[in-house]
A and B are shown apart, each in its own frame.
Chain A
Amino acid sequence: DTAVSQTPKYLVTQMGNDKSIKCEQNLGHDTMYWYKQDSKKFLKIMFSYNNKELIINETVPNRFSPKSPDKAHLNLHINSLELGDSAVYFCASSPRDIRNTEAFFGQGTRLTVV
């Protein structure tokens, strides 16, 4: 069974559209994250949620809105897509204190805005 699963794996869309990426984890973790990997492969955190509560918001534009209906799901909705949003988006989960454990990552969603 896949521990952290994201859908879709690939997403190609036009500028100005609104799109969503879904993420689910079956590990029983309290904390979920969204990371963005740019074209140079640099990974940076966007958001973290703990038990459905937003904890970290790393100065991401308001067009990005995460939603956590329950602690096993963290979806990412993006409004008015721009060319610069093209990237690979990774969902991850971990127990609350990440220092002594690992984060488990999904396979990533490659978003291409044309």
Chain B
Amino acid sequence: AQSVTQLDSHVSVSEGTPVLLRCNYSSSYSPSLFWYVQHPNKGLQLLLKYTSAATLVKGINGFEAEFKKSETSFHLTKPSAHMSDAAEYFCVVSEPPGSGNTGKLIFGQGTTLQVKP
């Protein structure tokens, strides 16, 4: 079975400093991994995805993540935080479709990113 663990429930950084949001996954298959962001009272938006191509994945708004199979990790980083980055971030693994199945997304518990001025 697939699962993801987000290692920090809350991360606080100052504006202009680097962001690191940690995610470990468990998967019996070659996984597809995603990071989604949820701004307050908004829906979910895809930041980036890993689907077995390049291990360093670049996403929107300057975010990137590196897939490390040896560490079963998919940490999200950004060199310089902006106030608008304050949001909830979800690491997600997809469970592949089986017979007659569509597959589904399995979400981590979420990490709240606070950005201080």
Contact = CB atoms under 8 A, between A and B. Distances in A.
Contact of B43 (A94, A99, A105): A105
Contact of A90 (B43, B103, B106): B43
Interface residues of A, number: 28
B3 interface: no
Nearest to B96: A99
Contacts of B44: 43, 90, 92, 105
Contacts of A96: 97, 102
Interface string B81-117: 0000000101000101100111111110110000000
A77 to B, nearest CB: 21
B51 A45 contact: no
B103 A98 contact: yes
A100 B32 contact: yes
Contacts of B109: 40-42
Given A43-B90, A56-B101, A102 B43 contact: no
Interface string A30-58: 01010000001111110010100001100
A44 B101 contact: no
Q: Which 7 A-B pairs have the closest CB atoms?
A: A105-B44, A43-B107, A99-B32, A102-B46, A107-B43, A98-B103, A105-B43
